[in-house]
Each structure stands twice: as structure tokens, then as C-alpha cells.
């Protein structure tokens, strides 16, 4: 299996621009998570989906952030407009359905390093 | 909510044994997990404890005491490649994890 795929791997943009991050989960996984990692705040859960439905978006920092999962193999995280404080590494992770695994192991993608100037 | 405490940095030499502690406060508990992250890489799963006691996987072991809200990761026969950040994470249900801030392990020759 190819693992979780994220694109782009690096993104440099200017303040005020729209940024779209993309994720393809592992086939057969029905949970998808978006995380943000910074030195100050560590690894924070932004939002997660189950069977393409957003379950908990309480970690989304503000209305500038939105996430969608139109089908089982694709999700996007959008920031509009972007600000310098959004600079971070954004990880997508997926996990298999409950019942197929004893524990909630999450499989992380390589991440997107976002820099907002 | 959940909160986790772990040391920010630990140093050790090759061949040694190191223990990384984690204490947690949680409103619901579904197990304690450990993840490894090399610099510039993605977190990868190491171990999981749902019940009290020790789980061993090769050179790595993980321990949990639910009554003390405490766990640790034990790394034996340290190698240079073990230099990485190690995160404990608490599950409040099957799906979600709350991660600690991570412990940076530096292994020297």
C-alpha cells in the first residue's frame, strides 16, 4: 500500500492568499484526521472525518480554515485568507474501521510544510 | 479535556537504556499510545497499552498504570537511529488521540 499521500510537500505563499492542502488516505481506512504541528503548540488535531462525514471540528482555529472530504479517497484543508501565524507542518492521518484494529493506530502522511510570508 | 506531561528532552549514549515518562489527565481513557518522529518526518506508531502492565516489542517496551495515570516508554540497546522525538498520546475514544508535546531523545556515540 502506498500509505497516506499529501500534496504539496512544501508551500510558500504570501499573507492573504488562499492555500489548499490535499490528502489521500490509505485505501480501506474510514477515519481521516488533519493535524497541525508547531514548536509552540505541538501536534494539534484540527478536524476528523468518519466515512467522509466531519465528526469533530472543534480544533479548527477559526473560520479561515475549512476542510472537506468529498469521497473516501480525498480530503482538502483550505486556509483563506492565510496569515503568517498559520505557518506550520500540516499532517493528514488515517486509521482503519473500528473492529479491524484493536487499537486506534493512526497512519500519518509525510506532511505539508506551509510558510506564509 | 485531556492534558499530558512528558520531559522535553532526554540524552543518552549508544547501548544504554532510557525511559521516557508520561503522565496524563483525561476525562475518558481508551489507552496510551507512543509515536516516534524523526526530524522532518511523520509520526509513526510504536506501541499501545490499554491495560496495566508492560508491553514489549523488540528493543522497545511500554508500561501503563491506569490508577496512577502514568506510563513510560523504555528503549533498550540504544542506537544512533533512535535519536528522534517521542510522543505519548491518550485516546478518549477509538477515534481520537491527544498528543503530548513530545520528548526529544538525543543519542550520542
pLDDT in tens, B64-91: 999 999 999 999 999 999 999 999 999 8
State whether B42 and A43 contact (CB < 8 Å).
no
Q: pLDDT confidence of B10, banded at 50, 70, 90? A: very high
Measured between CA atoms, the residue of chain B closest to residue A99 is B94
Question: Chain A to chain B, count of Cβ pairs less than 8 Å apart?
Answer: 52
User: Which A residues, 90 through 109, put their C-beta within 8 Å of a C-beta on chain B?
Assistant: 91, 95, 98, 102-109
Order of strands, edge to edge, in the sheet holding B3-5?
Answer: B3-5, B18-25, B70-75, B60-65, B53-57
Rounded CA gap, A4 and A108, in Å? 6
Say which of A45, A107, A110 has its CB closest to residue B96: A45
Q: pLDDT confidence of B30, banded at 50, 70, 90? A: confident
State whether A48 and B44 contact (CB < 8 Å).
no
User: Strand B60-65 vs strand B70-75: parallel, antiparallel, or unpaired?
Assistant: antiparallel
Q: How far is CA B96 from CA A19, A86, A89, B82, B86, in A?
A: 26, 23, 19, 26, 18
Q: How far is CA B47 from CA A23, A50, A69, B87, B105, in A?
A: 25, 23, 29, 11, 17
Rounded CA gap, A56 and A24, in Å? 19
A74 touches chain B (CB under 8 A): no
pLDDT < 70: residue spans in chain A = 1, 100-102
Task: Look up cell 508547531; give the residue.
Answer: A38
Say which of B41, B44, B97 has its CB closest to residue A104: B97
First to last CA, chain B: 41
State whether B45 and A110 contact (CB < 8 Å).
no
State whether B99 and A43 contact (CB < 8 Å).
yes
- Output phi, psi for A85, to 5 deg: -70, -5
State whether B94 and A50 contact (CB < 8 Å).
no
Rounded CA gap, B69 and A110, in Å? 31
Which pLDDT score, from 0 to 100, does residue B15 have?
97
Q: Is B49 in contact with B55 (CB distance < 8 Å)?
A: yes
Measured between CA atoms, the residue of chain A closest to residue B99 is A43
Rounded CA gap, A14 and B35, in Å? 33
B105 pLDDT higher than 70: yes
Measured between CA atoms, the residue of chain B closest to residue A90 is B42
Rounded CA gap, B20 and B72, in Å? 5
Amino acid at each position: 500500500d502506498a500509505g497516506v499521500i499529501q500534496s504539496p510537500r512544501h508551500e510558500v505563499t504570501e499573507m492573504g492568499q488562499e492555500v489548499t492542502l490535499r490528502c489521500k488516505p490509505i485505501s480501506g481506512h474510514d477515519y481521516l484526521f488533519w493535524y497541525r504541528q508547531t514548536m509552540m503548540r505541538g501536534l494539534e488535531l484540527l478536524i476528523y472525518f468518519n466515512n467522509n462525514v466531519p465528526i469533530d471540528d472543534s480544533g479548527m482555529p477559526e473560520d479561515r480554515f475549512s476542510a472537506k472530504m468529498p469521497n473516501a479517497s480525498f480530503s482538502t484543508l483550505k486556509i483563506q485568507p492565510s496569515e503568517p501565524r498559520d505557518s506550520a507542518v500540516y499532517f493528514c492521518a488515517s486509521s482503519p474501521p473500528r473492529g479491524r484494529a484493536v487499537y486506534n493506530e493512526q497512519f500519518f502522511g509525510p506532511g505539508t510544510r506551509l510558510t506564509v510570508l | 479535556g485531556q492534558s499530558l506531561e512528558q520531559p522535553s528532552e532526554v540524552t543518552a549514549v549508544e547501548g544504554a537504556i532510557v525511559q521516557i515518562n508520561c503522565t496524563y489527565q483525561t476525562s475518558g481513557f481508551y489507552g496510551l499510545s507512543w509515536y516516534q518522529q524523526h526530524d522532518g518526518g511523520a509520526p509513526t506508531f510504536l506501541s499501545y497499552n490499554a491495560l496495566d502492565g508492560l508491553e514489549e516489542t523488540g528493543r522497545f517496551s511500554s508500561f501503563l498504570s491506569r490508577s496512577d495515570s502514568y506510563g513510560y516508554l523504555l528503549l533498550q540497546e540504544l542506537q544512533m537511529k533512535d535519536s528522534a522525538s517521542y510522543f505519548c498520546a491518550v485516546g478518549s475514544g477509538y477515534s481520537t488521540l491527544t498528543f503530548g508535546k513530545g520528548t526529544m531523545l538525543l543519542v550520542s556515540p
